Every structure is written in structure tokens, then in C-alpha cells.
Structure 1
Amino acid sequence: MRTPPLPLAEAQSRLLALAAALPVEHRTVSECLGHYLAEPLLARRTQPAAALSAMDGYALRSADLPGPWQVIGESAAGHPFTGSVGAGQAVRISTGAMVPDGADMILLQEDAAREGETMHLTGTPPAPPQRHVRPAGMDFSRDAMLIAAGTRIGPAQIALAIAGGHSHLPVRRPLRLTVIDSGDELVLPGTLPALHQLPASNGPMLCAMAAGLPVTITHIGPIADQLEDLAQALGSAADADVIVTSGGASVGDHDLVRPALEAVGASIDFWRIGIKPGKPLLVAKRGGQIILGLPGNPASAFVTGFLFMLPLLRAMLGAVKPLPRTIPARLTSAMNAGGSRMEFLRARWDGVTVTLDELQDSGALAPLARSNALVVREAGAPAKAAGTDVLIYLLENGGIA
């Protein structure tokens, strides 16, 4: 008796349980964009190290209000005033400059008038007096947690790490991914296909989906629907951390992929998921290598790549939360009741509402290219009227906010 398809959450959990984290290496900060931090990052210094002015004006003692003051020097960014401010004294100061010893207030330059070395109050002093002073440690202090392990490193994280005194960061080594697409009907991109043929688009699509992550990608195919060819392709990818196949089954679901996997010493962990599109998904292992067998229909390959391939890659690269996240959106039109499987409908989100594409066939690419979201329709869900909230996955950035 055939085992029933696994629910999505169970299948994702089983897949991620197989995902061993890759070895840690230390890379220069500038090389870490898109990586996930492998260890907590602590500050090696305090930022700012001393009190700084947030505005252009005059540094003085608030106790001396309302003045006048004698201007005794200047503090500029990178060129601090080396003395201290005493009673009735002020120092001209620029944004980002160190606040001199003795001063506790910055009087804005537009609230002051200067005649020679004498400065008078002409406007309203700041309230509270420290309003325009950035205190030492305002941003972070030495030994404070800067970035948690598992955080994806973007431009802001790069700047923070450098400001915290770091030149190198611990990250997982780049993942080695091999994508194999196969099918007798497929021809190379750019080749004019015959009526019974199709351009091989799944492999390049899956490679493009993974390209935003720190991965080294090898693309094989398209190859013919022959057991020997598929086994040879799998065998040539023995050094890959992850292999993703698309198609390759001319008769029945993965009739060729399964024997080809057995031929190269891989063992199947699970097969068939209770989702639409994307039911005939297969997960196998060969030593420490994970193999994903995705369906051949393009929408099915995309949806399973989104829900399984990308989370697997993120998990192996050290992401704490590798799965895509849903957000609510309001339907612009009615949605039919759900069937026996959870469905992922191609749709367009405008920031508030979501519009289902009229064409939902798993073999169609145009609706996928028009879409920036997947609407989740649970198995057996009742019909929903226009204006009803539903959950959606945003396709940008692999569904990771």
C-alpha cells in the first residue's frame, strides 16, 4: 500500500533535520555579504567611545545659562579640543566632534550670536540640556552583543561589525550545489524546439533562486530520460553538498530518479508531499549529501524550490529561521474552496491586497513571472469572499523578510 503524502510542515521538518551545518571559516567582513553569522559577535570597543555632538554649535556648561560666554577654542570631528570648559566658557563644536571635558550641553549655532570671542544666547536652549549630546556607549558598549548567531549579514551588519572592531567574521563555508534537469522533451536554452520539445528552463530558474545565497552552483543538463545518464550525472556530483534534480521521469512519478539514486548508493528518506503544485517531491541522502528530486512542471519546481530547496540551503548555511514566513493580505476577488491538498496559488500583492492570477496550471510560466506572491489555500478550506484576509508568501528574497 502506498504511503500517503506527507503534510507540508512534517516534510519540511524532516528535511531540515537532515541539514547538517557546514564547517565554519573566517572571512573578511567585505566577503560576508549574504552569509549567516556562525557565532555570536561581541563588540571589541565602545561606540561612541566618548560623548559626541549631534549638531553644529557651541559646547558649554548648562549651569552658565543664559550666558554670555567666552569662546576659548574649537572641537571638530577628528580634531578634539584638548582643554576643558570652565565657568562662562564655550567651545565651537561641529557635528560628530568630541564634547570637551566640563561641557554638558550643545547650544545650536542658530540660537547663538558671536562677536569676536564673545558668544550670546539669541534663541532657546535645548531641553533637556543633553538633547544634542550623543553619550559614550549610546550605540553599543564593549563586550555587548552586536549580532546574534544565525543572522544574515547585510550592509548594515557589515557596517556594525566594522564599527565594533572586527575585520573578519565566522561564517559557514559556501555551499556546493548541483542542479540537474532532465527530460527527453528538453532542449538547451536558445535552441529552437520542435513541436514536441521545450526549452529547458527549470535548471536555470532553480540556479537563479539559489544565487542570492553563498553557494557555488554547478548546472548539469538537460540530460535524456535514461537511467544511465541520470545515474552518471548524480555520480559526477559526488562532491556537492546538495543535489537538486528537476524532471527526469518519463513514466510515473520519479520512476527514473529512484533507481538512479539507488544505483549511486543513495537512500530515499521520504517521497510525495500533500501540496499542489509539487506533490511528487523526493528527498534522499548519500552520505552527508542531500538530494532533492523536484517535479518537472515549472510552477511545481518553483514552489517546491521555494518551500524546500531554499530552506534547506539556508539551514545548512546557518540560518536560525530558514523557512519562509507568511503575512496576511486581503483578497480582491473570491477564492474557491480548497481541495484535498494544500495549494499555493500564484498571485500579485500590491502591499495591501492580493489578486489571484486567472491561470493556475502547474505547467504555465507566465503566471509565475507575473506573480510576486503565493496565496496559501489550506486543504478543505471553505470558499472565501473578496475582502477576506488570507496568508501569503512573498516571493522576493525567498520569502525571508
Structure 2
Amino acid sequence: MRINELQKINRRAVAKLAGVSLATVSNVINNKPGVGRETRNRVLQALNQPLARKPAVSRQMTAVRRVVTQKELSRVLGVSRELISRVLNDYPDIHPETKIRVKNAIEQLGYRPNLLARSLSRRRTKTIGLLVNDVSLMWREPVFSMIINGAIEVASDSGYAVAVYHYDESRDGRDYGRIISDGRSDGGIVVDNPLLTEPELDRMESLGLPLVFANSVFPGRRIAAVYLDNRRGTEELMSHLISLGHRRIVFVTGAKSALVERLNGYRDALERHGIPFDPQLVFNYDRDPDVDGGVQSLFVDRSTAPTAVCANFDTDALKWIQLLRQWGYRVPDDVSVAGFDDFPFARLVDPALTTVTCEYIDVGRACARLLIAKLEGRRTEESVVVPTQLVIRRSTGPAAMRQYQGGS
């Protein structure tokens, strides 16, 4: 075959028509040995079928290069929208050649079904799915239990049932649309703040999934999310420490979107107060292999040691208080320590913990309200920000005098 003819071949369609693998089709096209005569003949016959050729891009198709609706796709193909829907849902009674033709056009035109619209058009179940990758988080981590309780409260008041769905990323990936469909829910709330790649975000944005993400931030994306004002909360906490004379402040964070926002707040406060950002003071649990050892190395020399530590969570702050005591430092006399979350124990420990109040139950409530509004066809904001509040207690105090040795 000539090169221009080879470029027109839809190898995937040929493989389906001949009942062979893509590799076998390539071997036959390239005249490679090792393919049986009968198999080779089947592939050659399939190559002569009209469906083996990629559909020509007519003026009509070019005009709808960015097809976004089933109606436009139906017009281009000259088939009913019902037929397209049945192909998308993989109904067994559709002729294989018809399936190939429709799927070829879908791929070429870039059509992406809007899963939210599909959920609105099908029969409603009045059920909201709560999606978690690790079910044990529901009782191990207060954050997740509060989000879930808030969502259940609003869903119940609105006449919706709630079901918890566990998904295994190694098996299911993050195909949230399929998980919801399999669970027979109208929509879902993703509770566990997953680390999403750019291609995954692109896909979810184009599909219009009936989803709301809890405590996740997607700047510039049309993806529904409810999150705490982590950036402002951290900036206020840092400004409090800076007002006490602290300049070298250790910041421990992670890679998830909410924690990235806290790091942004840390940097905002430093910039606002004219303090240079020092990357050696920042540690990331998701990237650094030994965070504890890295932080400890900063406190070996008491004359240059940092005077404050900002932890990701209140539980982390308690750990740093214990470690600092083991390293011979007093809190807050030598080193101030602050947390984030304001869990009930934060006011009961010694010293009582300076932290940032986070109303996670309000995050859950807002997630449910936003999702229900979407499912019922009401116009909504894509994201909701839940405010935080600084709470000053005894774990933070004036910076130790070593801060000013050396003229800094």
C-alpha cells in the first residue's frame, strides 16, 4: 500500500473486523513473517472493508470539529441520538459495524458525553455517593468523618439517601463516572482529596461529571469543589508568628492541593513582611524521604536553630512538641509550635495549641448542597470557599533572642 493509503487505515477497526490484535494487523500491513495464512487472509479481507478506512473529513464534519453535543453528532452521522446513546452505553443489540462507525466519528470529532446531563435525563435514584479510596479514614481521621457527617446531614434534610463507595485506585483508577454509575447514585462527593494529574483533570473537566470534590482546590478549572480558605488561614497564622519576632519558621507540608494552598499562604506572609523565602525551612511529607531527620538537623546548632514550627495538622504539631522536648527545647520559650485544624484536643494539651479553626462539617454540608443543586438543574458556583479562623493559645510566644544574633 502507498503511504497515503496506509494513513487512512483505521487499524483498530480492522482488528475488530478480523478478530485479531493490533500487532497482528501491523504485521500484515508491514508484510512481516509469523502470521498464519488464514489469519493473514482475514486481515486482508478486513482491510478492503469500507469501515477499515478512517472517515473522510467532510466540510460538514470540519464545521463541527469541536462537537460537544449528541445532537450535533447525530446530524453529522445521520443517525438518531438514541442510537448514539445506545452505542455509548454498549448495548449488545447494536450491529458491530454500526458501533465502529459511531465510535470512529466520536473519536475524530472529539465528542465527550456530558455525564451530568446523562444523570439528569435518566431515572433519578435520589442517592448521593460518598467516594473514598481508604474506608479506614472514616474513623481514623476526624477530618473525613466530619466532612461525611456534614454531607449526610444536608442530604438527609433534602430527601437524599447516602451510600459510601470504596474504590481501589490500583483496580478502578479514578473513573469516578463509572463508579457512580455502577453504584446507582445520581452523583458523588469525593472525600479523600486525591492527587490528580493534569490529564485526569482535563478529562473530568470535559466530561462534566456529577461530582463535587471535598477539600480540594483546582485553580482555573471548571470542576466543582468545596475547600477551606487554607491560604488565608496560613497567612494569618504566619503573620501572628512574625509579629512575635519569628523570622526562621519551619513549615511542614504535603503535595495535596489543600496543603499546597497552605504553602502559598506561608510564602504570601513572608513576602508581605519582606522576609526572604528559604526552601531549606520547608519540608514535604510526599517528597522528602526523612522529614523528621531533616527538621532535626536544623536544631542541632542552638545558635542558628529556627524559632518556630508550623505543622500541617494539630496531630503533627503535637509530634513536633514531643520531638523538640527530646532535642532539649522548651515550647514556647525556645521554639513556638502551631498547628492547623483546631481539633478538640488542641485546647487540652500542654501547652494549649495555637492553631487555625477549620469547620470541616461545613465543608461536607456545602459539598452536599452544591451537588444537589447541580443534580436538580439549578445554577451554582463551581466552587465554595469555607472561611478559617486563627486561634491563639499558649504554644506560641515571642521569638528567642538567638533570632537576632548575627544581625538578622
Instruction: State whether TM-score is above 0.5.
Output: no
- TM-score normalised by length of structure 1: 0.26
- TM-score normalised by length of structure 2: 0.25
- Flag the structure with larger Rg: 1
Q: Which structure has greater strand proportion?
A: 1
Q: Which structure has greater helix proportion?
A: 2
